[in-house]
Amino acid sequence: MTEVRTCLHDVQKHSVHTLVFRSLKRTHDMFVSDQAKAVSRDDVSHKLKMGVKLKTDYSAVLHMPILKEGKDRVSQLPAHLQGHAPYSQQDASRTAASVVDIHRHAGGGDRVHPQSTAVSLHEGGGTRTSALMRRAPTMPKPQWHPPWKLFRVISGHLGWVRSIAVEPGNQWFVTGSADRTIKIWDLASGTLKLSLTGHISTVRGVAVSTRSPYLFSCGEDKQVKCWDLEYNKVIRHYHGHLSAVYDLDLHPTIDVLVTCSRDATARVWDIRTKANVHTLTGHTNTVATVRCQAAEPQVITGSHDSTIRLWDLIAGKTRATLTNHKKSVRTVVLHPRQHGFASGSADNIKQWTFPDGKFIQNLSGHNAIINTLAVNSDGVLVSGADNGTIHMWDWRTGYNFQRIHAAVQPGSLDSESGIFACMFDNSEGRLITAEADKTIKVYKEDESATEESHPVNWKPEILKRKRF
Amino acid sequence: MSLTSFLPAPTQLSQDQLEAEEKLWAQKTYSTALVASRREPPPYGHRQGFIPRALEDFGDGGAFPEIHLAQFPLEMGRKKKTNNALAVQVDAEGKIKYDAIARQGQGKDKVIFSKYTDLLPKEVMNEDDPALQKPDEETVQELTEKTRSALDKLVSQKIAAAMPVRAADKQAPAQYIRYTPSQQGVAFNSGAKQRVIRMVEMQRDPMEPPRFKINKKIPRGPPSPPAPVMHSPSRKMTVKEQQEWKIPPCISNWKNAKGYTIPLDKRLAADGRGLQTVHINENFAKLAEALYIADRKAREAVEMRAQVEKKMAQKEKEKKEEKLRELAQMARDRRAGFKGHGDKGGEDSEARERDEIRHDRRKERQRDINISRAAPDKRSKLQRDQDRDISELIALGKPNPRASSEGQYDQRLFNQSKGMDSGFAGGEDEMYNVYDQPFRGGRDMASNIYRPSKNIDKDAYADDFENLMNNNRFAPDKEFSGADHSQRREGPVQFEEDPFGLDKFLEQAKQHGGSKRPSTSTRSKDDYHDKKRRKE
């Protein structure tokens, strides 16, 4: 039974509709497991009753033998007689194999009717009962996460900071900016270690390879560069894009680089030979984001034509197209542990599962153009928007537990707040964001917060989940 | 433990049960699909004369072989033009596959979401749900290997052209295949039952250039069919929202390519003038005030300086005058009053004064005589005054000739009988006709000099006024006997030259009373007096 909780201090005002529905639900949950269940049969009394009935009504025929085949023929009829009754449908009779057994006691004809209807009610209620018994207790409660707070602001770039990548050894991180430079910063102290120049326009994407000492960067000047970090020089150019390259990602197991561009294609490059292995066409507008993974589907792209495509890397063809978003998809993030991903767009954030891209749920509430998403192993999803706000969500339930809007660097206008990229470091204890006021902000979890100080205020919508 | 388990089975079905069976059989064919059959063809044996023409006549089945007629059930077999109608397909459960339209060009196992249920959110799953787990390591590695080999093959194809020419690569060793043909016999294969085939890869010339031209540009093929859209159509735009996004046309302050004439308020509309409040720095006002104050102070300073200077100059002048007076006094004293200076005393001071006055007058007379003697034209003083300009006369304080107070009219205004074109005189420049009569000249000056009229107050002059009036003592041209008539007398007093030099003589007498000095001293004194007068 669900216990009734009384709030002593917080009496929230709801509409009559909500109140009625809430009470409906509570009552339903309370009685649903028992409702329409027949009173449990007492074997002794039942045997007694049967015996008396047989003796009084059927004593004349009790001597005759009981034939099996006839019984089956007869038994089929009353089962199908249920077609009259509106309750039981054909699927119900088909799926529940035990229905036939239940109906066997009914003789036939009209006499059976009222009983059969009663039984069908019983049976329907039974199936419903069984189904709902599965569902009622599993209204999920979101996991508590400590809130995040800003603890460092790093300034040094002369233009918007557009992209971030963290080194696999968690010692430093790289940022690419609109001032055409790539800067390498020490993660622990936030000091600048190195500045790389070479791009002639905004650097839109950076990635550090886990398998070799390479740094990859792409920019709005159609260039994709491979930097050797031992010499801090460009060693390779990947030539082929026809327009600004917006994002890039490295395959975790194969030495392959995937870049996506404003020319509506994504290109797959062999790192060593600089050859353009595949050109993934199919999108009709700028491809804004690309992610690679080792399992199928290996490449996921999100585009400004509001579709997400899952690609087959071997054939270079689309496996599935997801058209659920209404506005441009600017970001896609893969969950580090689970086999699923989330995509962010201006209408809402959607969660999907692999390998077919089945839609799981919507995370709505962040009503802004979402530029970036990042996921933690603890299940914290961060969404950063074009207006500078950060929302923190619980991945599993979609509960928004925190909203942050950091102040801009002194000297910047208030309208210059926006987040272009965010990333957790490899220890998942720090969140690094690249912002439009030319700073890099580092956030960490607030250690002093507890469940009591920051309670979970989970108010899901009633009747949100349907049985599909 | 129901009742039926104890009772024997009924041997015959009742009427109700039979009806139920019928109904059941009828219901079996009832389905929820949109496509449903209506009419049934007659059963076998009763089809004499039945001609199936329409689609419904065939029911669920096909053609009837006993009816000797060309039949096209489901329009199959008819020669018709290709149309792109899709045949209705049914899935395993008997439901019609409506997403066949969306799946037209694709393989049957391609993932396409087309149902309403695909866009509804699913139940929140537990984290340990197997559907959410990543695939295990082996599958992933297998996939990786497969992908890598495929990609390597592609890469090698692409860079084959760039690779250097090497010796011909070794072909794989020959494969042998045992083949059993289906057509057996003595004639085939010369009686043998099987054949052995040696399969060898054809050698590829390493120096061979590419065989096919790949620089031809061909248009792109059609794209894959669009995926079904899994969201509700976008909301209709309300008028208010549309108004919010309205962008006014740009009216540039610099360019006007089509030469539109745009009213001034529209030209300035986008300037944002109404939005800003004009802030004038208060220093402007301060500057203006400071300048004003400075100007005033400067003026005051200048004035003060001028005044001070004037005072100083006046003081200087007075000092000089004092000095001169002293000198004159000294001179006078030296000249006239040395001898009788000490003993005359007070009663003689008046006499001395009178003497001084006489002396002064004589000096002036002498001066005039000198001037007239020096001047060749012998112009007398009155004559001189006659030639002076009226402003000079006023400045010198000479009598005002104008006595009449009545208005002086231009006489040309009266007696206007000359006609309209008179008066302008043809625009002659040389004529000076501003006034019609000269200003009162010197000729009338004599008459305008003050003469006591009978109207003057008798108090001032007692009762002898008439006597005074009739007195001719002050007639200007009363002459001495023996006076010279040749000279024209102007004015009451006519000063004349000293023909006998009596003045001179008297002066000298005066002077020599003090000391015997030669004419140099007198001359110097004359010069000095002249100089003094001239200064004044």
pLDDT number for residue B91: 87
pLDDT number for residue B198: 92
Residue carrying the six token digits 């220890």: A427
Of the candidates A177, A179, A153, the one whose C-alpha atom is nearest the C-alpha of residue A165 is: A177
Start-to-end C-alpha separation, chain A: 25
Distance of CA A317 to the CA centre of its chain: 24
Of the candidates A278, A273, A274, the one whose C-alpha atom is nearest the C-alpha of residue A301 is: A278
Spatial CB neighbours of B41, under 8 Å, sequence gap ≥ 6: B47, B50, B52, B57, B58, B59, B61, B64
Dist. CA B247–CA B241, nearest whole Å? 12
pLDDT number for residue A425: 95
pLDDT number for residue A346: 95
Spatial CB neighbours of B97, under 8 Å, sequence gap ≥ 6: B89, B90, B91
pLDDT tens, position by position, A122-173: 443 444 444 444 444 456 788 999 999 999 999 999 999 999 999 999 999 9
Amino acid identity, position B302: V
Lowest-pLDDT choice from A32-41, A241-250, A452-461: A32-41
Interchain pair A254, B132: CB under 8 A = no
pLDDT number for residue B148: 96
Quick check: B401 and B447 in contact, CB under 8 A? no
- pTM passes above 0.80: no
Q: Which of B28, B154, B220 to mutate to test the interface with A (most CBs of A within 10 A)?
A: B154
Q: Which of B5, B11, B12, B17 to mutate to test the interface with A (most CBs of A within 10 A)?
A: B17
Amino acid identity, position A179: D
Amino acid identity, position B201: E
Helix (H, G, I), strand (E, B) or coil at B126: coil
Local structure of residue B406 (DSSP, 8 states): S
pLDDT number for residue B535: 52
Spatial CB neighbours of A396, under 8 Å, sequence gap ≥ 6: A140, A142, A143, A379, B124, B125, B127
pLDDT number for residue A10: 77
Quick check: B257 and A351 in contact, CB under 8 A? no
Closest residue in chain A to residue B118, using alpha carbons only: A359
| Half-sphere exposure at residue A198, Cβ-oriented, CA atoms within 13 angstroms | 20
B-chain residues near A379 (CB < 8 A):
127
**Bigger pLDDT: B253 or A184?**
A184
pLDDT number for residue B451: 58
Dist. CA A177–CA A183, nearest whole Å? 8
Q: What are the DSSP calls for A281-311, one per residue?
A: ---SS-EEEEEE-SSSS-EEEEETTS-EEEE
Amino acid identity, position B511: Q
Rg of chain B over CA atoms, in angstroms? 75
pLDDT tens, position by position, A400-416: 999 999 999 999 999 99
Dist. CA A357–CA A351, nearest whole Å? 9
Of the candidates B75, B82, B32, the one whose C-alpha atom is nearest the C-alpha of residue B54 is: B75
Residue A328 has pLDDT above 90, yes or no: yes
Quick check: A353 and B132 in contact, CB under 8 A? yes
Quick check: A215 and A225 in contact, CB under 8 A? no
pLDDT number for residue A105: 42
pLDDT number for residue B270: 67
Interchain pair B132, A270: CB under 8 A = no
Q: Which of B19, B28, B113, B158 to mutate to test the interface with A (most CBs of A within 10 A)?
A: B113
pLDDT tens, position by position, A349-388: 999 999 899 999 999 999 999 999 999 999 999 999 999 9
B423: region left, alpha or beta (phi > 0 left; psi from -120 to 50 alpha): left
Interchain pair A465, B146: CB under 8 A = no
A-chain residues near B151 (CB < 8 A):
254, 256, 268, 270, 277, 313-314
Determine the average pLDDT of the residues in A264-293: 96
pLDDT tens digits in sequence order for chain B, 536 residues long: 677 777 887 777 777 888 888 888 877 766 555 665 566 888 888 888 888 888 888 887 788 888 898 888 887 888 877 777 888 888 888 888 888 888 888 888 889 999 988 888 888 777 778 888 899 999 999 999 999 999 999 999 888 877 777 777 777 788 999 999 998 888 888 888 999 999 988 888 888 888 889 899 999 888 888 999 999 888 899 999 999 999 988 888 899 999 999 998 888 876 666 677 888 899 999 999 999 999 999 999 999 999 999 999 999 999 999 999 999 988 988 888 666 555 555 667 888 899 999 999 999 999 988 887 886 666 566 667 777 787 787 777 765 555 565 677 888 888 777 777 666 777 778 888 888 877 765 565 655 566 556 655 556 666 666 777 777 676 666 667 776 666 666 677 777 777 788 888 888 888 876 555 554 444 445 555 555 555 55
Quick check: A71 and A101 in contact, CB under 8 A? no
Residue carrying the six token digits 């089975």: B9
Dist. CA A388–CA A437, nearest whole Å? 10
Phi, psi dihedral angles at B225 (to 5 degrees) = -60, 145
Report CA-CA distances (Å) from B490 to B397, B444, B477, B478.
19, 11, 8, 12
Long-range CB contact pairs, A118-126, < 8 A, 24+: A120/A82, A120/A85, A120/A87, A120/A88, A121/A36, A121/A87, A122/A36, A122/A38, A123/A88, A123/A92, A123/A96, A123/A99, A124/A87, A124/A88, A124/A92, A125/A35, A125/A36, A125/A37, A126/A36, A126/A37, A126/A96
**Bigger pLDDT: B446 or A319?**
A319
Closest residue in chain A to residue B150, using alpha carbons only: A314
Quick check: A182 and A195 in contact, CB under 8 A? yes
Interchain pair B122, A468: CB under 8 A = yes
Rg of chain A over CA atoms, in angstroms? 31
Residues in chain A: 468
Interchain pair A71, B4: CB under 8 A = yes
What order do you get walking across the sheet with A266-270 strand by strand?
Answer: A245-250, A256-261, A266-270, A276-280
Dist. CA A286–CA A328, nearest whole Å? 9
Interchain pair B151, A140: CB under 8 A = no
Quick check: A330 and A306 in contact, CB under 8 A? no
Dist. CA A148–CA B512, nearest whole Å? 132
Distance of CA B18 to the CA centre of its chain: 101
Quick check: A402 and A450 in contact, CB under 8 A? no
Interchain pair B9, A67: CB under 8 A = yes
Dist. CA A313–CA A298, nearest whole Å? 6
Of the candidates A23, A88, A25, the one whose C-alpha atom is nearest the C-alpha of residue A465 is: A25
Of the candidates A334, A337, A374, the one whose C-alpha atom is nearest the C-alpha of residue A148 is: A374
Interchain pair B144, A361: CB under 8 A = no
Local structure of residue B96 (DSSP, 8 states): B
Nearest by CB to residue B150, choosing from A314, A466, A468, is A314
pLDDT number for residue A333: 97
Residues in chain B: 536
Dist. CA A434–CA A206, nearest whole Å? 12
Quick check: A194 and A215 in contact, CB under 8 A? no
Of the candidates A258, A265, A225, the one whose C-alpha atom is nearest the C-alpha of residue A241 is: A265
pLDDT tens, position by position, A221-264: 999 999 999 999 999 999 999 999 999 999 999 999 999 999 99
User: Please, which residues bridge with residue A267 across strands?
Assistant: A259, A279
